[in-house]
Amino acid sequence: MFDFLAEQDASICGGSHLKRREFLQVGVLGAAGLSLPQLLAAKEAGAVRPGHEDRACIMIFNLGAPSHVDLWDMKPEAAAEYRGPFKPIRTKSPDIDISEILPLHAKVADKFSLVRSVHHGGAAVHDAGWQIMQTGRRFAGGVQTPHVGAVASHLLGRKSDLPPFVVLPELMGRGGGNLPNGQAGGFLGKAHDPFALNADPSKKNFKVPDLLPPDQIGAARLERRRSMREIVDGAVKNFEASEDARLLNDSFHSAFRMMTSEQARSAFDLTKEKQSVRERYGINRFGQCCLLARRLIENGVRVVTLNSFLTVFDQLSWDIHGSKPFISVQQMKDQVAPMYDQGYSALIEDLHQRGMLDNTLVTTLAEFGRTPKVNPAGGRDHWPQCFTCSFAGGGVKGGRVVGKSDPVGGFPAERPVDPGDVVATIFHSLGLDPKAMLPGPAGRPFPLVDFGNEPIKELF
């Protein structure tokens, strides 16, 4: 994400300097998007399937890693130290049983499908899992693979005044491994980093930082900001022909377009929603982010990543080790599950009722699962060997279960699925060919996913 308000100087072509705050407050608010040219080029290269131009994705990333055996892959026949304290309940899908602590999920289970055999060989460290699950590859050799949303931004561009890739409510914080979190443009460049909200939409005074409507800025200031590009263009004779100048020009136009756009301001304005709708989602950060994600997709954003929590340190999350500062399995029932159950089910119902679900993939991911056995503190620990992800909409057939774990949820027993398969499935839903090539590091062609990874065909 761009750091818009940092005070360091920005060097303009070998000598001229502007304060970074002066330079960036002209409104470089999001990734530059070329829209139609990018989309046409991607189609011509065979990277985009015809008829999928309006597809979108909401990626809910369950930071901290939910306990699959307490929520979506319950083992009622296992010994007590494995099965945990909760009972499975029937759902609207005859093939899916889920935990009693997710009763609203049960009512929409015909619209989502579960993949119960996800696993990866990365380290059992939060940020290692964040990277691998959002990009499909481990962080290795200093190469940062782009997030799914950054790839969509690169290949498809924007289709409205809003950026193509948005993160809510903000980028992930620390994860313990001092590794990249995977929520960036990576080797595609900062032009494809996400626009991060950096605000809590459940607050009464919620507003989008740095997105000021023109009537608050004034025509004179807007004109000064518009003229800033002329100053930059004249810094060096040959600057206008350079790649840096092209990106800068795109960023100016993109930012000015967003700042002056009624569509952009309206998309972020939750007061336009009925109070009953806001309450259905839940008046909390996660619930209102789910509602905002729907509004952004309605207004042309291609990929929204929603972090259900922000960090695993000193904050509530799915990280249920049991001992303080973490919560226990039982506390998950009281503090986390109700909020999540309400927000997710409302999003699925709302998208369906508005006729948007067919074109919007809603996927729930996590960095790993939790240990099959409850630990002495009443929690479960990190477990990348087996966990559950879900998919709804975007061409996915609901009410299905793909894969199977062993009797205690420790390892895949049938149809193992790795992160590359998960990411390939998202690309497939968006109409992107997982075998398409990106301009990789050092100019070498780089496939969207590793060769051998394919979409989870059972979902479609």
Mean pLDDT of 47-68: 93
pLDDT at 6 > cutoff 80 = no
Q: To the nearest whole number, what is the mean pLDDT of the chain?
A: 86
Q: What is the CA radius of gyration of the chain?
A: 22
- Ramachandran region, residue 106 (left: φ > 0; alpha: ψ -120 to 50; beta: rest): alpha
pLDDT of residue 53: 87
The listed range with the strongest mean pLDDT (19-23, 99-103, 310-314) is 99-103
AA letter at 381: D
Burial code of 149-170, b = ≥16 C-beta within 10 A, e = fewer? bbbbbbbbbbbbbbbbbbbbbe
Residue range 31-44, pLDDT digits in tens: 334 455 666 666 66
pLDDT at 219 > cutoff 90 = no
pLDDT of residue 28: 33
- C-alpha angle 138-144-148 in degrees, rounded to nearest 5: 80
CA–CA gap between residue 373 and residue 408 (Å, rounded): 8
With cut-offs at 50, 70 and 90, classify the pLDDT of residue 49: confident
Mean pLDDT of 296-322: 96
pLDDT of residue 388: 98
**What 3-state class would DSSP assign to 71?**
helix
Cα dihedral 213, 217, 218, 224 in deg (nearest 10): -120
pTM, to two decimals:
0.85
pLDDT of residue 430: 97
DSSP designation for 332: I
pLDDT of residue 178: 86
Residue range 264-302, pLDDT digits in tens: 899 999 999 999 999 999 999 999 999 999 999 999 999
Residue range 324-360, pLDDT digits in tens: 999 999 999 999 999 999 999 999 999 999 999 999 9
With cut-offs at 50, 70 and 90, classify the pLDDT of residue 112: very high
Nearest to 190 by CA among 138, 132, 112, 250: 250
pLDDT at 71 > cutoff 70 = yes
* Residue with tokens 């249920």, as numbered in its chain: 320
pLDDT at 451 > cutoff 90 = no
Q: Which of 15-24, 196-205, 236-245, 404-413 has the lowest mean pLDDT?
A: 15-24
Percent of the chain, pLDDT > 90?
Answer: 71
Report the run of H or E that residue 217 belongs to, with start and end.
helix 214-217
Residue range 401-410, pLDDT digits in tens: 999 999 999 9
CA–CA gap between residue 275 and residue 261 (Å, rounded): 25
The residues, ordered by sequence, that sit 6+ positions from 175 with a Cβ below 8 Å of its Cβ are 125, 126, 127, 128, 130, 181, 311, 312, 367
State the number of CA atoms in the 13 A half-sphere of 212 facing the CB: 13
What domains can be seen in the chain, in order of their start residue?
A: 1-30+213-267 (no CATH), 47-211+274-459 (3.40.720.10)
CA–CA gap between residue 12 and residue 263 (Å, rounded): 32
pLDDT of residue 162: 95
CA–CA gap between residue 80 and residue 375 (Å, rounded): 12
With cut-offs at 50, 70 and 90, classify the pLDDT of residue 12: very low
DSSP designation for 287: H
CA–CA gap between residue 303 and residue 297 (Å, rounded): 8
* Residue with tokens 């924007």, as numbered in its chain: 158
pLDDT at 443 > cutoff 60 = yes
pLDDT of residue 273: 97
pLDDT at 227 > cutoff 70 = no
